[in-house]
């Protein structure tokens, strides 16, 4: 297996998740995350033109969006890596960013699910739930190249489950399961589900689809453009609504889109052996959770203290019909607190190993004899 050496390289722009099934009318991950980033950037441009920065929340509202700290002491770990961003706050618990803290967050993440696949599940349970939805799914792991500082450590950030109907099918599901990796246990922190609805006569109406979504998840927290619905939940699982949800999404959508860059991060696709090189996962391992967010950072900690359900759909009304029909839909559900804790633990683990490796090399180099004159 190819080994990786840590380089102090310049940041590489992350390219968001993009999957296609060989048809032009299918929603892709690129549509899903690009639209989120475009909306966030549009709002920032409006704020710059009006000269009015985002309004700060009253103290009471801030305490609701960020879980109270259980300790007055600055925690040992933080999502931003070695360089703490100015607007970061202490984490919800002292063990955030450790394998133990990650496991505690996972145990409370199951209030959100897609087709019975619950966030926070151990990876084996998540795969079993996926196959219970459709036994035809055959999820395959994408792994990172081995790092020189962590010999023998296999890091698996995601499982990809292609449409059982085949790569050219216009109907069916395509799943990506995002999981925490070493030194954490493998817990599910995110799911992306791409749905294609095939022929016109088999497409559901937009109205009935939205009714079904709201029946399961309740009314959306906010709506971005006409075909993007957002549900946002705090660390206790309580839904955030209205203006507060708009504020959170405006400040965090850039971070969330980059952090869902997946296998396309850095412009690289998996090799034939399902290995990722220079992906967003690699960059976060080396640079910390907020790598690639353009300096937007944590916004007071809110971006790694919420869970999100993000639904984006394409639709059309056939000629001679009055029915607005779904053509494709992408659903993404993520626990950002679980993701942030897992990434921070992995980043810290790698940086500690790199420091030890450098110390060992320094000691070995110090033993070399000098030239005699």
Q: Could you give the C-alpha distances from 326 to 198, 227, 333, in angstroms and in order? A: 10, 11, 20
Task: Report pLDDT for 348.
Answer: 93
Residue 61 has pLDDT above 60, yes or no: no
Note whether 189 and 163 are within 8 A (CB): no
Of 10 and 295, the structure prediction assigns the larger pLDDT to 295
Helices vs strands, H then E, count in the chain: 8, 14
Q: Which tens digits make up the pLDDT trace of 210-223?
A: 999 999 999 999 99
Q: What is the DSSP string of 179-220?
A: E--TTS--BEEEEEEEEEE-SGGGPPBHHHHHHHHHHHH-S-
Least confident interval from 31-40, 57-66, 254-263: 57-66
Distance between alpha carbon 370 and the CA centroid of its chain, in Å? 51
Q: What rounded mean pLDDT belongs to the chain?
A: 77
Q: How far is residue 322's CA from residue 21's CA, in Å, rounded to a whole number?
A: 28
Residue 272 has pLDDT above 50, yes or no: yes
Q: Which tens digits make up the pLDDT trace of 87-102?
A: 444 456 778 899 999 9
Task: Report pLDDT for 41.
Answer: 52
Q: How many CB atoms lie within 10 A of CB 34?
A: 17
Q: Residue 53: left (phi > 0), alpha (psi -120 to 50), or beta?
A: beta
Task: Report pLDDT for 266.
Answer: 46
Q: How many CB atoms lie within 10 A of CB 84?
A: 15
Q: Work out the average pLDDT over 250-264.
A: 68
Q: Would you place residue 199 in the very low, low, confident or very high pLDDT band (cuts 50, 70, 90)?
A: confident
Q: Of 222, 221, 225, which Cα lies nearest the Cα of 42? A: 225
Task: Report pLDDT for 92.
Answer: 60
| CA angle, residues 31, 34, 35, in degrees to nearest 5 | 80
Predicted TM-score (pTM) of the model is 0.76
324 phi/psi in degrees, rounded to 5: -85, 115
Q: Which tens digits make up the pLDDT trace of 234-252?
A: 988 999 999 999 999 988 8
Residues whose CB falls within 8 Å of the CB of residue 146, separated by 6 or more in sequence, listed in order: 1, 2, 3, 4, 152, 153, 154
Q: Could you give the C-alpha distances from 167 to 14, 156, 261, in angstroms and in order? A: 25, 23, 21
- Is the bond leading into 183 cis (omega within 30 degrees of zero)? yes
Q: Would you place residue 66 in the very low, low, confident or very high pLDDT band (cuts 50, 70, 90)?
A: very low
Task: Report pLDDT for 253.
Answer: 84
Q: Could you give the C-alpha distances from 227 to 84, 97, 213, 310, in angstroms and in order? A: 36, 35, 13, 11
Task: Report pLDDT for 24.
Answer: 29
Q: How far is residue 121's CA from residue 139's CA, in Å, rounded to a whole number?
A: 16
Note whether 36 and 303 are within 8 A (CB): no
Task: Report pLDDT for 42.
Answer: 54
Q: Which two tokens stand for residue 299?
A: 């916004």
55 phi/psi in degrees, rounded to 5: -70, 135
Q: How far is residue 148's CA from residue 138's CA, in Å, rounded to a whole number?
A: 31
Of 298 and 339, the structure prediction assigns the larger pLDDT to 339
Q: Which tens digits make up the pLDDT trace of 118-155?
A: 999 999 999 999 999 999 999 999 999 999 999 999 99
Least confident interval from 241-245, 257-261, 312-316: 257-261
| Dihedral over Cα of 335, 337, 341, 344: its sign | positive
Q: Of 114, 357, 159, which Cα lies nearest the Cα of 276? A: 159
Residue 292 has pLDDT above 70, yes or no: no
Task: Report pLDDT for 1.
Answer: 54
Q: How far is residue 138's CA from residue 134's CA, in Å, rounded to a whole number?
A: 10
Q: Which two tokens stand for residue 297?
A: 């950072």
Note whether 137 and 175 are within 8 A (CB): yes
Task: Report pLDDT for 181.
Answer: 96
Least confident interval from 111-115, 144-148, 272-276: 272-276
Is beta strand 140-144 parallel, antiparallel or unpaired with respect to 275-276?
Answer: parallel
């Amino acid at each position: 297996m190819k080994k990786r050496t840590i380089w102090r390289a310049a940041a590489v722009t992350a390219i968001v998740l993009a999957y296609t099934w060989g048809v032009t009318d299918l929603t892709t991950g690129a549509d899903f995350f690009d639209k989120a980033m475009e909306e966030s950037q549009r709002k920032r441009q409006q704020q710059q033109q009006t000269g009015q920065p985002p309004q700060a929340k009253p103290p009471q509202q801030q305490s609701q969006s960020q879980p109270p700290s259980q300790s007055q002491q600055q925690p040992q770990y933080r999502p931003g890596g070695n360089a703490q961003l100015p607007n970061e706050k202490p984490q919800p618990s002292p063990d955030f960013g450790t394998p133990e803290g990650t496991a505690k967050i996972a145990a409370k993440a199951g209030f959100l699910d897609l087709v019975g696949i619950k966030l926070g599940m151990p990876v084996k349970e998540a795969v079993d739930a996926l196959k219970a939805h459709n036994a035809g799914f055959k999820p395959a792991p994408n792994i990172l190249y081995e790092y020189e500082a962590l010999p023998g450590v296999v890091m698996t950030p995601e499982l990809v489950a292609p449409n059982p109907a085949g790569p050219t099918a216009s109907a069916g599901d395509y799943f990506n399961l995002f999981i925490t990796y070493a030194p954490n246990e493998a817990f599910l922190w995110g799911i992306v589900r791409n749905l294609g609805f095939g022929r016109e006569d088999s497409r559901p109406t937009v109205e009935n689809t939205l009714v079904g979504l709201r029946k399961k998840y309740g009314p959306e927290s906010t709506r971005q453009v006409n075909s993007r619905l957002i549900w946002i939940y705090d660390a206790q699982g309580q839904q955030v609504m209205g203006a507060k949800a708009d504020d959170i999404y405006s400040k965090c959508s850039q971070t969330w889109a980059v952090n869902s860059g997946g296998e396309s991060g850095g412009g690289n696709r998996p090799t034939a052996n399902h290995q990722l090189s220079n992906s967003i996962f690699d960059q976060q391992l080396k640079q910390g959770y907020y790598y690639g967010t353009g300096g937007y950072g944590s916004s007071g900690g809110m971006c790694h203290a919420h869970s999100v359900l993000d639904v984006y759909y394409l639709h059309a009304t056939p000629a001679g019909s009055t029915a607005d029909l779904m053509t494709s839909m992408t659903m993404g559900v993520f626990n950002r607190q679980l993701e942030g804790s897992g990434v921070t633990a992995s980043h810290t683990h790698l940086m500690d190993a790199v420091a030890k490796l450098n110390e060992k090399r320094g000691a070995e180099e110090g033993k070399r004899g000098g030239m005699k004159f």
